A = this chain, B = another copy of it.
Amino acid sequence: MSDRLAKLKETLAQLNRLYMISELLYWDMRTIMPEGGFEGHAEATEHYQTEAFRISTSDELYELLQELSAPEEWEQLDDDWRFIVKTMREEQERDRRIPEELFSRMVAAQTASERAWEEAKKNSDYSIFAPHLEKLIALTREVKSYTHPELEIYDALLDDYEKGMDSATIDRVFGELKEGLVPLVHSILAAEQPDDTKFRVTYDLDAQRKVQKLLLTYIGFDWSKGTVGESEHPFTLDLSATDVRVTNHFREDNAIDPMFSAIHEGGHAIFEQNVAPKLAGTVAGGCRYLGIHESQSRFFENILGRNINFWRPIYADVQKLQPELADISLEEFAREINHVRASMIRTAADEVTYCLHVILRYEVEKAIFREGVSVAELPALWNRKMEEYLGVVPANDAEGILQDMHWSDGSFGYFPTYLLGSIYDGMFLEAMEAELGSVDELLAAGRIGEIRGWLNRNIHQYGSTRRPKEVLREVCGREATAEPLLRYFREKYKKYYNL
């Protein structure tokens, strides 16, 4: 190993420590910290994130990366390290253009805004959050004008979350999907709905925690490299590839949503736990592309988890842990987890209307950044679109514009990655079945490990070394298309709704 590569590894160790501390502070803040800890955690978070930013944009690192790119050094690097050096250079050249003072303002604004959003949501009072949102939008535009001067603003936002993806491609695939889904959802909502009375009981919370443990274990979550917590909104976070954490939010009136949150976050965690160890602690360790990441959480949650065959080997055990399900047959359970409703809340939405929730958010974001729609107009715009796509109108802003935390930390351009994930899933399912045969049969036989193995081999191990469009080409041999997902939806709902 050259001295310069050794030096880069040292810098990465230093940066990783700072990232780990920031993640630990975030984890603690969201899962357990009392109110009185806020000030100290916020101050420390800002400090360590600023320190990481300073190192990652330093002249010293800049020169080191230049030197490693010179022919005599470059020749000694293997493909992974070439990817790492190239990616770090690209990101650094972008980040170095952000004035340090602007970055600090952004971090401080995010922290304050996250808190305001929590307060606003609790009181269903958009006016508490609106000034923070406006500030974040302005700061985001300012940051992007430094980092991506060459890109149209919405493409610049996407670039952070799904490298190489562009709004033209998204417009095309979301368009294909919307065209097929709107009539499908309308037929489903007009069809006879299953009776869900038996599910409306009070579910023991501790039993739900035990069911989560069973589900995570079953899908292959590695407990020696991960743990669980509870927070307002479920999330997955990694302190390192060997310390990957998921949260959930349990409620007495609903035991099913938390099961699917567990499987969803478990899917994210399994990705992180299975990246090749040689990539650990670099920009290639872990997956940085949120659409690809989301494709894995949603593959576990929907493609596997909402399939009746997923439950055949474990349903009796789940019933034992959660006795409120004792009188509900596997068929009734499967029917309910595929129950389509015109609901207000994205995270509680069924698999198919979920797509429309995301398309709505994508359109609202384009309205903000492209059409200059004002912050004051957003609640009404949101509500109009809800009525148009799902035929329902939020009763208040807590179940409307305030429902998601994403905009509270300035994550604009993030939402479309959820739907890209599902679109990729249709494509992955097709490719997987071509190789392994019927997923229904594998699941029914409890051979979920083979499915996970396929995902590990084809997707997880590469971490970030393959970019999204490259993953699709390598794994599916084609460009992004919504066609397999649409076909999957049509087949599934034909069966459940006699369409």
Interface residues of A (CB under 8 A from B): 16-17, 20-21, 24-25, 27-28, 32-37, 39-40, 43-44, 47, 206, 222-227, 229, 239-240, 242-243
Contact = CB atoms under 8 A, between A and B. Distances in A.
A244 to B, nearest CB: 8
Given A34-B226, A206-B206, A43 B17 contact: yes
Given A32-B227, A35-B224, 15 more contacts: A17-B43, A17-B47, A20-B40, A21-B21, A24-B28, A27-B28, A34-B223, A36-B222, A36-B225, A36-B226, A36-B242, A36-B243, A37-B243, A40-B239, A40-B242
A65 B499 CA distance: 81
Given A20-B40, A21-B44, A34 B240 contact: no
Copies of this chain in its oligomeric complex: 2
A226 B36 CA distance: 7
Contacts of A33: 227, 243
A478 B240 CA distance: 55
Nearest to A207: B206
Contact of A225 (B24, B34, B47): B34
A37 B206 contact: no
Contacts of A36: 222, 224-226, 240, 242-243
Contact of A44 (B20, B222, B223, B229): B20
A141 B404 CA distance: 57
Given A24-B28, A28-B24, A17 B44 contact: yes
A475 B80 CA distance: 68
Given A24-B25, A28-B28, A239 B37 contact: yes
